[in-house]
């Protein structure tokens, strides 16, 4: 409602407003019963020293000796390889397993990975799990049960006081939106202090090519060497931050031996669910997985890299100081002289980002961006924010591609799912630097959510990521977006559209509303 407009007094029209007011009041009363207690006093914890024995150390230590002072990197674009790396590293760990995640689904791969963490703890491995509570609250019982194991500890980032119920959650959000709007989007998987996986993947079927619906096109980086120490130190920084709570403090009654025994039964059943499934077949057939089993995983080594992560208390910092990731990327973008390739599924560059990208294009840099089309985007509202800047980007010389969806049900195959949505967050600068992380080029990643990533100088990695970009932006998988006489055009070489191709009326309506409403800071 615009300022100065009167609310009609007729009863039928005022009922919705009355109901909304009553609902908000009721939710406020509801959340008043659930107050987050003061965080318990906890002694600082630090990662265990890197393992010197076991399969991981046996592979990594000789490689480090052959590349003194360097760190090794491998792009992991294949979903089954990404799952297998997590599984095998958990199986091979002898000392420690640290897991940091935004989402951990209770689906097949989510349960299988939880089973591997539990089995590692049974062998004497120290397991720490740090999960964002926006998703973890719905899995509170399972996470609390894991925490009952003497060698597993679970902490939750920016948790809610209530531990179940949608209405209770709505009540807390209605009164505590400013606090709860800040989330931890980081993803790290660190085994034995020797190897780490970071990138865009959460833990769940659609991130590992195991969904029978839509799967995500995503990317991790497998790392070894000194960079792993920085990832581990950052995990410790988040683990010890007052931004998170031990789940044992929030749900002391849920973490019992009986609950753990019940969870074991559920997790063991996931192994039977995998057996004979289509996903198990693909795991056995995938050449990347076979190379991993045979010790053939190859790393590319570099002396020039930087791991960067936002502060776990990011929300308390002045707005211009919140994003350490942006402060790392902006100079790199400014230094680009030949080529700048950006992959961002949720792409809302804003005025600053648009100016940086078009400024690079004006310097003669070949600037290309791959993002989701409206039809492929799982958050249509974000697409509305992006569309505000699409014309300016194209007029400024930036080349745009939007990933296609697929109308057919996804099928397991080594080529990936037939139904897909972009989830990769990456950048290529000239021919020798790549960035891979959790950071989307949008306001939420910049100012609200904690993000991280790694910037590496290595021409082989840059060439590999360029190949991925070319594959995903090709006409079979994406539409090229252009301006023709001031009008937008989508083209795949066989057909041209003058409107958002393959999108639904509801998607277009939501995107349009987001474009005109003042909500960009939340996208």
The long-range contacts involving 134-141, CB below 8 angstroms and separated by at least 24 positions, are 134/102, 134/158, 134/180, 134/183, 135/102, 135/103, 135/104, 136/104, 137/163, 137/164, 137/169, 139/104, 139/106, 140/164, 140/247, 140/250, 140/251, 140/254, 141/254, 141/259
What are the angstrom distances between the C-alpha of 207 and each of 55, 108, 200, 227, 420? 26, 12, 9, 24, 10
437, two tokens: 């992380």
Q: Which of 433, 73, 426, 438 is nearest to 223 (CA)?
A: 73
Cβ pair 174, 28 in contact under 8 A: yes
Helix (H) or strand (E) holding 86: helix 79-92
94, two tokens: 């002898």
Cα–Cα distance measured from residue 291 to residue 272, given in angstroms and rounded to the nearest whole number = 25
Cα–Cα distance measured from residue 406 to residue 376, given in angstroms and rounded to the nearest whole number = 8
Torsion angles phi and psi, residue 88, rounded to 5: -70, -35
Residues annotated catalytic, as ranges:
185, 187, 192, 423, 425, 430
Cβ pair 410, 211 in contact under 8 A: yes
Which neighbouring-strand residues pair with 153? Answer: 128
Angle at 273 between CA 272 and CA 274, to 5 degrees: 90
Helix (H) or strand (E) holding 116: helix 108-122
Which neighbouring-strand residues pair with 216? Answer: 421
231, two tokens: 């990832």
Cβ pair 263, 142 in contact under 8 A: yes
DSSP secondary structure letters along 16-44:
HHHHHHHHHHHHHHHHHT--PPPPPP---
Q: Which of 443, 447, 420 is nearest to 514 (CA)?
A: 443
Cα 269 from chain centre: 27
Cα–Cα distance measured from residue 473 to residue 90, given in angstroms and rounded to the nearest whole number = 34
279, two tokens: 């996903």
HEC profile of 370-392: EEECCCCCCCHHHHHHHHHHHHH
Cα–Cα distance measured from residue 106 to residue 121, given in angstroms and rounded to the nearest whole number = 19
């Amino acid at each position: 409602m615009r300022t100065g407009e009167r609310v009609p007094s007729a009863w039928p029209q005022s009922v919705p407003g009355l109901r909304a007011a009553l609902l908000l009041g009721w939710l406020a009363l509801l959340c008043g019963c659930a107050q987050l207690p003061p965080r318990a006093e906890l002694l600082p914890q630090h990662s265990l020293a890197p393992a010197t024995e076991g399969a991981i150390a046996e592979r990594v230590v000789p490689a480090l000796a052959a590349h003194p002072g360097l760190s090794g990197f491998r792009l992991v674009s294949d979903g089954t390889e990404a799952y297998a790396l997590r599984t095998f590293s958990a199986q091979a760990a002898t000392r420690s397993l640290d897991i940091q995640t935004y989402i951990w689904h209770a689906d097949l791969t989510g349960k299988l990975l939880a089973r591997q963490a539990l089995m590692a703890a049974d062998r004497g491995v120290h397991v720490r799990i740090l999960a964002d509570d926006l998703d973890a609250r719905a899995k509170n019982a399972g996470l609390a049960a894991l925490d009952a194991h003497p060698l597993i500890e679970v902490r939750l980032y920016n948790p809610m006081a209530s531990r179940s119920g949608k209405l209770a959650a709505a009540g807390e959000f209605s009164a505590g939106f400013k606090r709860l709007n800040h989330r931890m989007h980081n993803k790290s998987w660190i085994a034995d202090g020797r190897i780490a996986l970071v990138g865009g993947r959460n833990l769940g079927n659609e991130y590992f090519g195991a969904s029978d619906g839509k799967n995500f096109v995503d990317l991790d980086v497998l790392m070894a060497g000194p960079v792993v120490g920085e990832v581990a130190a950052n995990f410790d920084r988040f683990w010890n931050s007052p931004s998170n709570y031990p789940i044992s403090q929030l749900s002391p009654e849920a973490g019992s031996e009986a609950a753990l025994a019940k969870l074991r039964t559920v997790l063991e059943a996931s192994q039977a669910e995998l057996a004979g499934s289509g996903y198990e077949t693909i795991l056995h057939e995938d050449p990347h997985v076979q190379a991993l089993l045979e010790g053939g995983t190859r790393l590319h080594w570099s002396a020039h890299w930087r791991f960067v992560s936002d502060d776990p208390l990011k929300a308390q910092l002045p707005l211009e100081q919140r994003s350490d990731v942006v402060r790392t990327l902006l100079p790199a973008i400014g230094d680009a002289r030949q080529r700048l390739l950006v992959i961002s599924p949720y792409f809302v560059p804003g005025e600053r980002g648009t100016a940086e990208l078009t400024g690079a294009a004006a310097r003669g840099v070949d600037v290309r961006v791959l993002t989701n089309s409206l039809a492929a985007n799982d958050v249509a509202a974000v697409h509305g924010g992006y569309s505000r800047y699409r014309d300016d980007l194209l007029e400024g010389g930036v080349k745009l591609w939007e990933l296609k969806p697929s109308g057919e049900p996804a099928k397991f195959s080594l080529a990936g799912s037939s139904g897909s949505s972009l989830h990769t967050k990456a950048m290529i600068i000239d021919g020798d630097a790549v960035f891979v992380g959790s950071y989307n080029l949008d306001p939420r990643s910049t100012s609200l959510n904690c993000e991280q990533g790694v910037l590496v100088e290595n021409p082989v990695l840059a060439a590999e990521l360029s190949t991925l970009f070319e594959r995903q932006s090709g006409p079979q998988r994406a539409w090229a977006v252009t301006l023709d006489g001031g009008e937008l055009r989508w083209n795949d070489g066989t057909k041209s559209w003058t409107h958002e191709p393959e999108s639904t009326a509801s998607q277009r309506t939501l995107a349009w509303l987001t474009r005109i409403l003042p909500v960009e800071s939340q996208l």
